[in-house]
Structure 1
Amino acid sequence: MPSADYRTLVRANYRQLSQSIQGFRPRREQNFLVAEIGKVLLGHYDAARRILVAEAGTGIGKSLAYLQAAIPWARLNNKKVVISTATLALQEQLVNKDLPLFQPHCQPAFTFTLAKGRARYCCRQRLQALVQGNGQIGMFEAVDALTPAQQEQLTELWQALVEGRWAGDRDSWAEPINDALWQQLHTERHSCQPQLGHGHCPFHLARAELDKVDVIVVNHALLLADLAMGGGIILPEPESCVYVLDEAHHIAHIAREQGSAKLSLRAARRNLEQFNKQVPTLAAVLKDDGHNAVNRTQQALQQLIPSLGELYKQLQAAQRRGELTPDEQGCSRFAAGELPELLSHSLTALKDEHKQLAQGLSRLQSALAEALKQQPGNSAVSGAMASVSLQQLHADEALGLCELMLKAVGPKQTPPARWLVQGKHDTTLCATPLAVGHLLEQWCWSRAAAVIMVSATFTALNDFSYFRRSVGLRADDGSQYLRLNSPFDYPASRLIIPPLPLEPQEAGFDELLVEEIPRWLKDEQASLVLFSSYRQMNAVAKALRGQGHSLLVQGEAGRQALLELHRMKCDGGQPSVLFGTGSFAEGLDLPGHYLTNLIITKLPFAVPTSPVEEAMAEWISLSGGNPFMQLTVPEASRKLIQACGRLLRTETDRGRIVLLDRRLLTRRYGPALLNALPPFTRET
């Protein structure tokens, strides 16, 4: 495709779009972002690696920029655009506002849809079995007695599905569906396959629609789950996709979650014992055709069940001997990722035994699939398939845990975080990869037709290095980096750092906040106060309410209900004060008169308390680095920028930020954190 044709289309689409929006104002930064995305897609920088990381400040209009640049290029090159977001709010904005706004003014024309994971869809056959009162979904998944209300809801679901009034996804049903009931209904990876008679299940019908549309909106978790399975399972193949990752600063964290694994020893053993009791019923369903598969599965179970029990006993004994030292949460982390010999030996055996079980289950599933072809609609066979499918999922998860726990790493490689949690009645083995860059490279960067990553907060301390390291990119690998400032008038708003007598870590700081916060709330109509912890927030809220202050406190009502109350008070001319923690520092949109006074009580330094954070800090130290300067300060910089970003949401917004942490002025890292913030007028 000649680049001139593409540019002509983008310009023509822009003209049509601008003429259709009343009061449209051109944004120089938005146009620049469109142009840079276009250059990357056209291969002007690197034809073999079309990757752009673009930090675009609030108010630039990132979503309309990437829609204008990516959709025409993808349509002309026979590719799909997959837009992935971190939050439901942005998904809804794209599907309900931005895409419908752009669609009538785009050539080539495009269609779009929202994609959801398997667990959001019901399985048609499982729903039918429940409605017909078979008493169970799978052979070994006895359903608790249904209440009349649940039975009535199941009937309504089935009728709506059959009559085409319901697409079979949980989100589109007006009434809530009980979690336990939905667990019995939703689609599963192994058993719900088109070749097994599930072609008319809602998930597969929705998946078929993805092949017909040009733009697919997903969330990061679904995207990375699909990529981790090799891609092309739920979403199209990476090679045929232009990925637009909005809110992409979350990608490394979510990739880490996708790569994590855990195994609860006693729960796994109980599950397998129950399954083992029912294997003779399986043999009866299959008759002679499945004899070898049944024998292989039984042999694997006879080895694996005692092994799980023995390892549990050994770990309990090791704790009694003082060889494992759990913290208050019962967590024992293995320093530098090194396993005790006892655990290493046992996990090696468990890994082999789970492989044997997985092979046996796979043969069982094949035999059941063949039986279902010969007896279409046989509920006993399809029920058996659902049960075997569940065991396959468990076996895959356990095998993944064993492999991650035993994974050997080279001298310069980062080992996974490995730990166990000893609860009252069970012991759970856990592992999480710390470095996920190589996974993202393998899953996505090296395969995708193009990747466009956008966020308002990529840089930490005015540099992309922190983000680059977290996602496995390099400055010299062909990836492009762009930073565009917000068009907002930051100097018209103030950043105030009062000369307080105490720092946040000192005794008496809570009491100091009780004195200081009212001073900065006085005569203000719309305030948001951000805290570093629920404990501190609730303690200060209790004290201020004792003084007669009216507060809206996170956790005392749902997020949306609190925000609606806040807006109502602001619209009615009443002063309103919101108290929130870190989750209110990102994604909260209170434009204009809904927020003019932002108070941040403490710099957002995260204390490494989770096993993953502790392991990351430990590995940096062992490698000769400084965890505080390499992890804590850059992450605090990013979070502080996000928190300050709550104040200005439109070009006409004005207000002030009061930062009650004097460390910005007294510590050596303070100037770097301050200089990374937008250019507010500073008062110290």
Structure 2
Amino acid sequence: MAFLPRSALDRGVIAYPALHASHGGIWIATMEGGTRPVGRGEAIRIAAETPVILLNAPLVGQRLGYAELSGLDLLELFAFLHPARFAVPTPAGMARAVDLSPPTRDEDVAAFLLEAAAALLAVPDGDWREREGAWASAQALGRLRWPWAPVIGPRIPRPRSDERWLFSKLPEWEEAAPRPAPRTVEIAPGEAEARLARLTGGGAEERPGQRAYAVAASAAFAPRALRDAPNMVLAEAGTGIGKTLGYLAPAVLWAERAGGAVWISTYTKALQRQLAAETQRMFPDPAVRQERVVTRKGRENYLCLLNLEDALQGGFAGRAAVLAQLVARWAAFTQDGDMVGGDLPGWLTTLFRRNGPAALTDRRGECVYAGCPHYRTCFIERAARASAQADIVIANHALVMVNAARGRETQTRPTRYVFDEGHHLFDAADAMFGVALTGAETIELRRWVLGPEAGGRGRRRGLAARLSDVASYDEGGARAIGDAVQAAQALASDGWLGRLAEGAPFGPVETLLAAVRGLTYARAEQPGDAGYGLETELAEPTPELIEAAAPAAHALDALLRPLAALGRRLEAVLAEAPDWLDAPARARVEGAIASLAWRAETVGAWLALLARVGGPADPETVDWLAVDRVEGREYDVGLHRRWLDPTRPFAEVVLKPAHGALVTSATLTNGGHGETEGWDIAEARTGAVHLARAPMHFAAASPFDYPNRAEVLVVTDVPRGDMGALANAYARLIVAAGGGTLGLFTAIRRLRAVHGRIADRLAREGLPLHAQHVDPIDTGTLVDIFRDDPVASLLGTDALRDGVDVPGESLRLVVMEGVPWPKPTVLHAARKLAAGGAGYDDRIVRARLAQAFGRLIRRADDRGAFVMLSAAMPSRLLTAFPAGVPIARVTLDEAVARVAGRLSLASAIGHEGAARLIPISPDGEP
């Protein structure tokens, strides 16, 4: 492929060289000299001396071993020119984005980057729909010395008049009358089937399982007969059933007739995006869909306009300030302001490493609500009001639980839920209702109360600043604020980790953490001390820990009292309704009350945990001490408490107030395939056992032809612990499959070791390899890259085991490096004991294997292989795989041959007639 046609390039603009580095080599391209390979040292020298054009600077810098690499990154230029648009951050993805032919060889990429730069720089000369605000933004970026500013700035003509940009451009949300309670309606099974037929279309393939699923799902929308006894349906639907439309059909029918909202909750952002796309079938008109379907997330996901304004006015410096300007460009065009999984490209913030993204959202609960000048245009408030009027609200498990436990929208709580990815409800509830009294948590509370302390950057947004007008009005409230500020001084402060390591804690809370750290190091099992986290039971505490607990509890109680008193004073202000308490001010006070209640609840939970030190244990909870570390570096220390059964509070807070709930998944019964024991597990893991009314069960097997489309190979001759042999196995299997491989690991350390050994080897075969925890790219973007390239492979951990949807040729082989046994933590040991022993571990592993296998076959015409690189795979766990799937124990040589034969042969003959393998039964016999 020829690049650099001089007629297509502006030599006055493309004056810089382009640099491309991959595992296959390093190349430099210039207008004058064409393309040439270079060594790592020369590439670093050129990049240090001359601005270079590149694609994804952090990734290129990592491959060069030059972390400080910077230059003219095409991704940054694309984000400036096309905010709220996504492009796969690869040469092929960029080629599609700028309408160029993609390079077919690694050595052609550097020259292609010059062409892509020219194409992007020509955008202002054409019909550029994102022109508004670009000139002002380019000027600001020029003052920040953004490398692209001198190049792109002169190409953007100054507007003839002042532009409406960002803060003046964003539309204001409007208040709406409170929505009445949903009407009592009944959805007949035939009506759900009829609506499903409309959604799927007249010429759609007959899917009896989907129709039966829609009928079963309708039961969750029936009128409730008893208080605290919702109509609960547990529905296991195999991959390919079409459960999304199956439950959307009765959900939309109920929402239309009852005048209420159905909240559809997921565990992964990928499924949220998929659901949003499916709703186009129900509401083809975008304007109608925007009103009736709302995607809702926690407030920490949305851009905070007040934080952004602070960043634009000098709160950020250096690269973080450049990011703020690019985010401002995006904010003017975004659909919903969602910075995590919305229309902000996931790769944008990773280009700036850790400079600033978290500070642009409200992660500390410091919102001043109506006291904010951007309250009327706030993305968070807009989403909350839109969801109150919508028919379908697409949320996530964590938000549903937070909203039910301490949400402000008490008058619009949903009565009907659909929990997709329901097998994750237990884990979500475990995180939501857990308690952690750690250094990181206490310093976060300190900052929430005090705001920036001496030397801190940013706007003063401590408790006193947020409630200054209330304090001036109410003497009791002002006194409570002062007492809270004084009490917060006893919490951990900046530098606490260093003081603990030096044995010099400051204050009662740091003294407690020092005692926790000392006892954990003394008792934690640490064979070889691999540098990872340590933990030990909170049992038989030492005198030092008991003595430290009492002053810490006193300090926390001294903080809890004024927080509670301030909450009561604010409630009194609402009741007194002074003249200044207009609607915005009322909203601000109500928000402050909710925030204070949350913080007071947290401190109360900490006090309950400290009461356990030296006191009686609570049989319903598990308590332990932990020192959290990554590669030997400590980052947190503290006490932890989790419910032995976290579905108990979930049932109390979420399920019992609801009228109906559908819990669905492809692996709801943990590999029980709908049998009695499997349903017992499903009821225990979803909270159904805590309800007065038993749930309805429904199961539909996948319609896919697994015996002909897939196989499971258990490799018996890769020695455990031999990293070289493990890496060799991965490399040979990936080559045999021609890429398209998802490699799953149970430990990040082994993932990194394998990647380091095979990435260059695969590159020489023309097979790109990407890796979670290695490449400086967010997980969602890694999956997008993997999905986009059928010869690429991706390595990852459990985040890629669940919820990844990559249909077609891009994923045809799944390789696991070992049996995914649960980590033997204090919490796991307690739950295993309560659940009856080894069977508990087996259930967890079967569920994980089923989820991993589920990544392989996503469509009826998919095919592939699942390889387990562990001879220690117990035969009793093979029931995790769909019935009839061929399973064989083979050597690595046999596995490589079978993978190559099945995948290449199936491809050559249209996926039909591939040789059938001789299956083995769960006991290992042919």
State the TM bucket, normalised to the shorter chain.
0.7 to 0.9
Q: 1:417 maps to which residue? A: 623
Tell me how large the CA RMSD over aligned residues is.
Answer: 5.0
The Cα shift of 1:57 comes to: 0.9
Pair 470,350 (structure 1): closer, same or farther in 2 beyond 3 Å? farther
Q: 1:292 maps to which residue? A: 476
2:264 pairs with one of 63, 69, 83: 83
Pair 493,371 (structure 1): closer, same or farther in 2 beyond 3 Å? same
Structure 1 stretch 113-122 or stretch 300-309: which is displaced more? 300-309
Q: Are the counterparts in 2 of residues 527 and 599 from structure 1 also a CA contact under 8 Å?
A: no
2 CA distance for matches of 1:454 and 1:335?
Answer: 36
Q: How does 1:202-601 map to 2 (within 5 A)?
A: 202=378, 203-229=380-406, 232-233=409-410, 236-238=412-414, 241-264=415-438, 267=443, 271=447, 289-299=473-483, 302=486, 305-306=489-490, 309-313=507-511, 316=514, 325=523, 331-335=534-538, 341-342=546-547, 344-346=549-551, 348-362=553-567, 395-406=600-611, 413-421=619-627, 427-462=637-672, 463-474=678-689, 477-497=693-713, 500-501=716-717, 504=720, 507-508=721-722, 510-517=723-730, 520-521=733-734, 523-528=736-741, 529-544=743-758, 550-555=767-772, 556-557=774-775, 558=777, 559=779, 570=790, 576-601=792-817
The Cα shift of 1:492 comes to: 0.5
Specify the code of the residue in structure 2 equivalent to 1:674.
T
The Cα shift of 1:268 comes to: 6.5
State the Cα deviation string for residues 95-126 of structure 1 (Å, max 9, x = none): 1x211112369xx9992221233334566677
The number of residues matched between the two structures is 645
Specify the code of the residue in structure 2 equivalent to 1:77.
A
Structure 1 stretch 495-504 or stretch 149-158: which is displaced more? 149-158
Q: Are the counterparts in 2 of residues 37 and 66 from structure 1 also a CA contact under 8 Å?
A: yes
2 CA distance for matches of 1:425 and 1:576?
Answer: 35
2 CA distance for matches of 1:392 and 1:212?
Answer: 26
Pair 380,148 (structure 1): closer, same or farther in 2 beyond 3 Å? farther
1 CA distance for matches of 2:648 and 2:463?
Answer: 41
Q: Are the counterparts in 2 of residues 602 and 659 from structure 1 also a CA contact under 8 Å?
A: yes
Pair 291,635 (structure 1): closer, same or farther in 2 beyond 3 Å? same
Q: 1:639 maps to which residue? A: 848
Structure 1 stretch 477-486 or stretch 147-156: which is displaced more? 147-156
The Cα shift of 1:541 comes to: 3.8
Pair 113,37 (structure 1): closer, same or farther in 2 beyond 3 Å? same
Between 1 and 2, higher relative CO (CA 8 Å, sep ≥ 6) is seen in 1
Q: Are the counterparts in 1 of residues 262 and 391 from structure 2 also a CA contact under 8 Å?
A: yes
The Cα shift of 1:223 comes to: 1.4
The Cα shift of 1:193 comes to: 4.5
Tell me, yes or no, if structure 1 residue 656 matches structure 2 residue 831: no
Structure 1 stretch 553-562 or stretch 643-652: which is displaced more? 553-562
Specify the code of the residue in structure 1 equivalent to 2:828.
M
The Cα shift of 1:639 comes to: 0.9
2:830 pairs with one of 610, 613, 618: 618
Specify the code of the residue in structure 1 equivalent to 2:650.
L
Q: 1:680 maps to which residue? A: 885
1 CA distance for matches of 2:190 and 2:646?
Answer: 39
Counterpart of 2:389 in 1: which secondary structure? coil
2 CA distance for matches of 1:605 and 1:148?
Answer: 42
The Cα shift of 1:641 comes to: 0.9
The Cα shift of 1:66 comes to: 0.1
Counterpart of 1:464 in 2: which secondary structure? helix
1 CA distance for matches of 2:464 and 2:647?
Answer: 46
Q: 2:818 maps to which residue? A: 602
Pair 223,457 (structure 1): closer, same or farther in 2 beyond 3 Å? same
Q: Are the counterparts in 2 of residues 81 and 243 from structure 1 also a CA contact under 8 Å?
A: yes
Counterpart of 2:395 in 1: which secondary structure? strand
1 CA distance for matches of 2:668 and 2:270?
Answer: 20
Q: Are the counterparts in 1 of residues 304 and 360 from structure 2 also a CA contact under 8 Å?
A: no
Q: 1:136 maps to which residue? A: none
Q: In structure 2, list runs of 5 or more residues that go unmatched.
A: 1-182, 455-461, 493-506, 673-677, 890-926
Counterpart of 1:663 in 2: which secondary structure? coil
Pair 288,373 (structure 1): closer, same or farther in 2 beyond 3 Å? closer
Q: 1:137 maps to which residue? A: none
State the Cα deviation string for residues 16-37 of structure 1 (Å, max 9, x = none): 33445xx510111111101111
State the Cα deviation string for residues 43-83 of structure 1 (Å, max 9, x = none): 69999431111111111111000011222134323331111
Pair 236,673 (structure 1): closer, same or farther in 2 beyond 3 Å? farther
Q: Are the counterparts in 2 of residues 30 and 60 from structure 1 also a CA contact under 8 Å?
A: yes
1 CA distance for matches of 2:750 and 2:490?
Answer: 48
Specify the code of the residue in structure 2 equivalent to 1:248.
G
Counterpart of 2:376 in 1: which secondary structure? coil
Counterpart of 1:224 in 2: which secondary structure? helix
The Cα shift of 1:633 comes to: 1.6
2 CA distance for matches of 1:173 and 1:517?
Answer: 34
Q: How does 1:120-199 map to 2 (within 5 A)?
A: 120-121=301-302, 144=315, 150=321, 170=339, 171=342, 180=356, 183=359, 186=362, 192-193=368-369
Specify the code of the residue in structure 2 equivalent to 1:466.
I
Q: Are the counterparts in 2 of residues 59 and 649 from structure 1 also a CA contact under 8 Å?
A: yes
Pair 46,460 (structure 1): closer, same or farther in 2 beyond 3 Å? farther
Q: Are the counterparts in 2 of residues 414 and 619 from structure 1 also a CA contact under 8 Å?
A: no
TM-score (norm 1): 0.77
Counterpart of 2:621 in 1: which secondary structure? coil
Q: Are the counterparts in 1 of residues 334 and 343 from structure 2 also a CA contact under 8 Å?
A: no
Tell me, yes or no, if structure 1 residue 38 matches structure 2 residue 218: yes
Q: Are the counterparts in 2 of residues 192 and 198 from structure 1 also a CA contact under 8 Å?
A: no
Identical amino acids, percent of aligned pairs: 20
The Cα shift of 1:438 comes to: 1.4
Counterpart of 2:852 in 1: which secondary structure? helix
Structure 1 stretch 494-503 or stretch 184-193: which is displaced more? 184-193
Q: 2:233 maps to which residue? A: 52
State the Cα deviation string for residues 471-521 of structure 1 (Å, max 9, x = none): 3322984112222110000110353435624663xx43x344345445545
Q: In structure 1, list runs of 5 or more residues that go unmatched.
A: 134-142
TM-score (norm 2): 0.59
Q: Are the counterparts in 2 of residues 221 and 258 from structure 1 also a CA contact under 8 Å?
A: yes
The Cα shift of 1:437 comes to: 1.6
Pair 629,154 (structure 1): closer, same or farther in 2 beyond 3 Å? same
State the Cα deviation string for residues 149-178 of structure 1 (Å, max 9, x = none): 9599689959987xx998666556788699
The Cα shift of 1:260 comes to: 2.7
Q: Are the counterparts in 1 of residues 294 and 383 from structure 2 also a CA contact under 8 Å?
A: no
State the Cα deviation string for residues 437-456 of structure 1 (Å, max 9, x = none): 21111112111121011111
1 CA distance for matches of 2:518 and 2:489?
Answer: 24
State the Cα deviation string for residues 316-350 of structure 1 (Å, max 9, x = none): 36766999646655745334697953355345434
Pair 149,461 (structure 1): closer, same or farther in 2 beyond 3 Å? closer
2 CA distance for matches of 1:537 and 1:215?
Answer: 40
Q: Are the counterparts in 2 of residues 588 and 646 from structure 1 also a CA contact under 8 Å?
A: yes
